[in-house]
Amino acid sequence: MNFSFTKEQELIQRMAKEYAEKNIDPVAQQIDIENQIPAEIIEGLGELDLFGIPFSDEYGGAGSGYATYVLAMEQIAAASSGVGMIISAHTLGLGAIDAFGNEEQKKKYMPKSCKGEHIVSFAFTEPGTGSDPKQITSTARKEGDYYILNGTKRFITNAGYPGPIVFFAKEEESGRVTGFIVEKFCEGYSISEPWEKLGMHGGPLLDVYLKDVKVPAENILGAIGQGYPILQYAISYGKVGVSSAALGGALAAFNEAVKYAKEKTHRDQPIAKFQSTKLNIATIAEKYEAIRWLTYRLGYLADNVKDPVQFAKDAALTKDFVCEQIVDICKLAVSVHGSYGLMKDYKVERLWRDAIMGLQIEGVSDMQKMIVAGVILGM
Partner 1 sequence: MNIVVAMKQIPDLQQIRIRNRQPVFDDVPLTIGDIDKNALEAAVNLKEGTDANIIVLSAGNEDVEDTIKEALAAGADEAFLILDDDLEDAESSQIATILAAGLKKMDDVSLILFGEGSGDNYSGQVGSRVAELMDLPQVGYVSTIEVNGNVAKVTRSLEDVEEVIEVELPAVISVMAGINEPRIPSVTQILKAGKKPKEVLELDDIEIDLGAATIETNSNLAPESDRKKIVVKSVDELVEKLTAENLIGR
Ligand X SMILES: Cc1cc2nc3c(=O)[nH]c(=O)nc-3n(C[C@H](O)[C@H](O)[C@H](O)COP(=O)(O)OP(=O)(O)OC[C@H]3O[C@@H](n4cnc5c(N)ncnc54)[C@H](O)[C@@H]3O)c2cc1C
Amino acid at 345: D
* 366 is a contact residue toward ligand X (CB under 6 A): yes
Q: Which does 40 bind (CB under 5 to 8 A by kind): partner 1, ligand X, none?
A: none
Q: Is residue 216 helix, strand or coil?
A: strand
Q: Name the nearest CA neighbour of 73 among 308, 250, 197, 283.
A: 250
Q: Which of residues 92-121 bind ligand X (CB under 6 A)?
A: 121
User: How do 176-183 and 220-221 pair as beta strands?
Assistant: antiparallel
CB closer to partner 1, 10 vs 366: 10
CB 109 within 8 A of CB 97: yes
The correct pick among 120, 182, 200, 333 for binding ligand X (CB under 6 A) is 200
Q: Rounded to the nearest whole angstrom, what is the least distance from the CB of residue 50 to partner 1 in the complex?
A: 7
Site residues for partner 1 per CB under 8 A: 7-8, 10-12, 14-15, 18-19, 22, 47-50, 53, 57, 62-64, 68, 72, 268
The answer to whether 205 and 139 are in contact (CB under 8 A) is no
Of these, 220, 322, 361, 371, which contacts ligand X (CB under 6 A)? 361
Q: Is 217 in the site for ligand X (CB under 6 A)?
A: no
Question: Looking at 6, 131, 137, 190, which residue binds ligand X (CB under 6 A)?
Answer: 131
**DSSP E strands, the chain:** 121-123, 139-143, 146-157, 164-171, 176-183, 189-191, 205-216, 220-221, 265-266, 269-270
Among 157, 236, 243, 325, binds ligand X (CB under 6 A): 157
Between 268 and 345, CB nearer to partner 1: 268
Q: Which is nearer to ligand X, 67 or 92 (CB)?
A: 92
Please, is 191 exposed, middle or buried when counting C-beta atoms within 10 Å of its C-beta (0-12, 13-18, 19+)?
middle
Give φ, ψ of 221 to 5 degrees: -90, 125
* Non-local CB neighbours of 156 within 8 Å, separated by 6+ positions: 121, 122, 123, 125, 165, 205, 206, 207, 208
| Residue among 218, 209, 167 at smallest CA distance from 189 | 209
Number of residues forming the site for ligand X (CB under 6 A)? 22
Q: Which is nearer to ligand X, 13 or 125 (CB)?
A: 125
Choose the contact partner of 47 out of partner 1, ligand X, none; CB within 5 to 8 A by kind: partner 1
Residue 360 CB, shortest distance to ligand X, in Å, is 5
| 173 given a catalytic annotation | no
φ, ψ for residue 362, nearest 5 deg: 50, 45
Which of 126, 256, 349, 362 does the annotation list as catalytic? 362
Q: How far is the CB of 89 from ligand X (least distance, A)?
A: 5
Minimum CB separation from ligand X for residue 325, in Å? 18
- Phi then psi for residue 122, to 5 deg, are -140, 115
Q: Which residues bind ligand X (CB under 6 A)?
A: 85, 89, 121-125, 130-132, 155-157, 200, 205, 357, 360-364, 366
Catalytically active residues, by annotation: 362
